[in-house]
Structure 1
Amino acid sequence: MTPTFVFATDLSADNRAGFARALRLAYAQHAQLDILHVLDPYLPRRLLRELEQAVNEDIATTLTDIREDYALEAPKTVIQTVMGEPHVEVVRKAHEQKAELIVLGMHRKRGQKELLAGTTFMRILRCAPCPVVIVQRVPTQPWQHILVPVDSFLTVRQTLSEALRRFPEAKITLLHAWTLPGEVELGSEVYYARWREQEVARLQALLSSEVERIVQDKDGALDIELVLESGTPSEVVQGYIKQHTPDVVMIGSRGQPYHSSQLTQTLLSEPHCDLILCRAW
């Protein structure tokens, strides 16, 4: 059965990078791409028919332009316009098609974390039944370096499995931010330094063992790196992104709503690369 990806477009210029990445992902993973635009249902009916035709023509033209601009092959595509609440219709489409991915262009509230909560963008993230790809960069090439922040065994198991399934040839860095009690008060003490070293080594062994269990039945040579750094998740992940410039960050969560974590909100408000948000179960 052919998988389906859903790309939701608002027809803005900000959506072009998302449109191009959706095409690249769908073609590479042999998926059908359903391109969806949601119309305002409160517009006069005499305008809706004309507007629907104009929107479909605009999407088809944009599709051709983007394929030519980025030299992209064409997956099977379906263009559809519907009326309703944008986040409801996008999520409904994903459910109806049993979509494996929803692809969105980056939102317009960059640098304004406090304004994200009630946006259509965040409502889609909260309700999505599948991973959501959020595109920030122009997709000139496939993703080659994927960063996976690790906060629990459950999230690393699901998110790493998803990354290996979809991007088996990419380099994957698992990044865990650790903190230990007493660091401020006792960090300069020799006995504390020894204890800290032992605890970090124990944590690394536990995470390494979990990763080995996940990849034991995978074929081929996998490029997976496990990195542990001291600090809060937001500080560690942002620092790593600025220093190593991964192509995409895959974020898992222990439950819903996954968009509420401080790390996720930080990455959404200050995007330095593409993001994929996944539920842990």
Structure 2
Amino acid sequence: MSRTLLFACDLSAENRAAFARAIRLANQSGARLDIVHVLDPYLPRRVLHDLEEAVVADIAATLTDIREDYALDEPASLIQTVAGEPYAEIIREAHDREADMIILGAHRKRGQPDLVAGTTLARVLRSAPCPVLSVSHPPTQEWHDILVPVDFSLTSRHTLRETLKRFPEGRLTLLHAWNIPGERELGSDTDYARWRDREVEQLRRHLEEETEQLMSELDDVPDLELVLEQGDPLDVLMTHLRRQPPDLLALGSRGQLGRHSQITERLLAEPHCDIMLCRAW
């Protein structure tokens, strides 16, 4: 079955980077690029008909402009408009088209995490049937360095598997945040420190075994580095993103971070890189 990438186009200037990335991904994967724009269903029917034609023409012109700007080949594509609630229509279209991935531009409420929860992007991330890519960086930036937060959850395993399959030539950093009981009270105790170090080493071996098992299922695997850092998972992740931002962050929709909505809103409001969010299974 041929692959389909679904790009949700909102016609904004901020959407150009995502549009260009969608074209590039379609060319690289040999997938068809379905471009969808959601119209206001409450417009008069005659206005809606005229607007549909204008929107399709504008998207086609933008597609040509972006291809010329970035010297990209023309992928197999389909441009279409639908009417309805944007997030609901994007999710429905992804189901109907059996999309391999949904691609959207980053939202425009940067630095305002409290305003992110109700955005189309945040709602699509919560309910999409496939990985969702939020693009904020130019498509000329290669995805060489990919960061994947990991734990022992099914979501984490699925996200790592998706990342390994999609980016076999990347360099993956697997980030795990750990907290050992008693660290605050007994951290200076020598016996406790030795026990803690043994626990962390055992944790590392466990993660390495799980990763190797996943890698054995695939033909091509990228370079991997496992990083264990102490602290709250959200704090560890945000610190790592600021200190050493990757090209792409691959994150599960649930898992060790526990506060899914909080971390999603934080990341969308402070995008250090492009983000791929994978569903729980």
Deviation at 1:221, TM superposition (A): 5.8
Deviation at 1:136, TM superposition (A): 1.0
SS in 2 for 1:172: strand
Read off the aligned partner of 1:267 and give its amino acid letter: L
Q: TM-score, normalising length from structure 2?
A: 0.95
Read off the aligned partner of 1:117 and give its amino acid letter: A
What is the CA–CA distance in structure 2 between the aligned matches of 1:224 and 1:189, rounded to whole Å? 34
Read off the aligned partner of 2:39 and give its amino acid letter: L
What is the CA–CA distance in structure 1 between the aligned matches of 2:162 and 2:113, rounded to whole Å? 27
Asked if the contact 2:122–2:265 (Cα under 8 Å) also holds between the matched residues in 1, the reply is no
Unaligned runs of 5+ in 1: none
Asked if the contact 2:149–2:237 (Cα under 8 Å) also holds between the matched residues in 1, the reply is yes
Deviation at 1:141, TM superposition (A): 3.7
In the other structure, the counterpart of 1:100 is 100
* 2:123 is the alignment partner of 1:114: no
What is the CA–CA distance in structure 1 between the aligned matches of 2:90 and 2:222, rounded to whole Å? 34
What is the CA–CA distance in structure 1 between the aligned matches of 2:71 and 2:237, rounded to whole Å? 33
In the other structure, the counterpart of 2:33 is 33
Cα pair distance change 1:186/1:267, threshold 3 Å: same
> Could you give the per-residue CA deviations for residues 20-71 of structure 1, whole angstroms, max 9, x where no partner exists?
1111111111110100001101112221111111111110111111111111
In the other structure, the counterpart of 1:125 is 125
- Provide the aligned length of Structure 1 versus Structure 2: 279
> Could you give the per-residue CA deviations for residues 100-151 of structure 1, whole angstroms, max 9, x where no partner exists?
1000000112111111222222221122111100001011043111100113
SS in 2 for 1:208: helix
Asked if the contact 1:251–1:264 (Cα under 8 Å) also holds between the matched residues in 2, the reply is no
Superposed, 1:150-189 pairs within 5 Å as 150-189=150-189
Read off the aligned partner of 1:151 and give its amino acid letter: D
What is the CA–CA distance in structure 1 between the aligned matches of 2:254 and 2:112, rounded to whole Å? 25
In the other structure, the counterpart of 2:71 is 71
Read off the aligned partner of 2:197 and give its amino acid letter: E
Read off the aligned partner of 2:25 and give its amino acid letter: L
What is the CA–CA distance in structure 1 between the aligned matches of 2:109 and 2:259, rounded to whole Å? 15
> Could you give the per-residue CA deviations for residues 68-107 of structure 1, whole angstroms, max 9, x where no partner exists?
1111122111000111111111111100110010000001
Superposed, 1:1-281 pairs within 5 Å as 1-220=1-220, 222-254=222-254, 260-281=260-281
What is the CA–CA distance in structure 1 between the aligned matches of 2:153 and 2:169, rounded to whole Å? 23
Asked if the contact 1:103–1:135 (Cα under 8 Å) also holds between the matched residues in 2, the reply is yes
Once the two structures are aligned, what percentage of the paired residues are identical? 58
SS in 2 for 1:275: strand
Cα pair distance change 1:35/1:162, threshold 3 Å: same
What is the CA–CA distance in structure 2 between the aligned matches of 1:23 and 1:227, rounded to whole Å? 33
Q: TM-score, normalising length from structure 1?
A: 0.95
Deviation at 1:153, TM superposition (A): 4.0
What is the CA–CA distance in structure 1 between the aligned matches of 2:91 and 2:214, rounded to whole Å? 30
Read off the aligned partner of 1:83 and give its amino acid letter: A
> Could you give the per-residue CA deviations for residues 212-244 of structure 1, whole angstroms, max 9, x where no partner exists?
100113334630111101111222112222222
SS in 1 for 2:272: coil
Cα pair distance change 1:123/1:6, threshold 3 Å: same
